[in-house]
Homo-oligomer: A and B are copies of this chain.
């Protein structure tokens, strides 16, 4: 075990554990075929995710009161359906489409790596997804979390420091006993500033052809791994 004293691993989820872009694109294309809607679904998926940071920023800046991610996703979706001139979905179909974020597929190495790690560490999420989203996603994708920790519990979105502090407090650990695993340099930097240990796992295809950053660790994180199998090797000392 190369990082002494770590007892719990908490994971960023979107992009780090699950392939949101591939999952959403598949579901949008399937919906398009079924409803005979022609659209640039890759552009739709990218625009939906593109609205993610700006919508959370409205909460961080106090322009919106605390709003859970399901509701932010829905505000962005309603706007995108207008922008893409898609008006043939029923209210139930729109509601179901918004919950596609509860039905994302894990990266191929994720579940096996987590199942190896859960024997030694307490495993949790530490995501901007709301609790219900993360719990249903875990059930859908077979992610063996011991607990669901969410920005919703702090009523702050990452990278606000309150989220990382809350994780250590709820786990009953000192910050240095908790390690954040993420595919995003900024998330890890913010966690490190609060005293958490850090592990970077590269997900260079997260954003498909439009990926412009986070190809590699840009800082001296405690662990840098190729995927969750490599992460388990490094943390278990196999």
Instruction: List residues of A whose CB falls within 8 A of some B CB.
Output: 68, 70, 118, 122, 124, 130-136, 138-139, 146-148, 152-153, 170-173
| 9 residue pairs, one from A and one from B, having the closest CB atoms | A132-B172, A135-B147, A131-B170, A147-B148, A135-B146, A132-B171, A139-B146, A153-B153, A122-B135
B residues in contact with A118, CB < 8 Å:
139
B residues in contact with A124, CB < 8 Å:
135
A sample of 5 inter-chain contacts (CB < 8 A) reads: A122-B136, A130-B172, A132-B171, A139-B146, A153-B170
Given the known inter-chain contacts A147-B147, A147-B148, A153-B153, please indicate yes or no for A171 contacting B139, CB distance below 8 A: no
Write the nearest CB–CB distance from A142 to chain B, whole angstroms. Answer: 12
B residues in contact with A170, CB < 8 Å:
130-132, 152-153
Given the known inter-chain contacts A152-B170, A172-B70, please indicate yes or no for A138 contacting B146, CB distance below 8 A: yes
B residues in contact with A136, CB < 8 Å:
122, 146
Write the nearest CB–CB distance from A145 to chain B, whole angstroms. Answer: 8
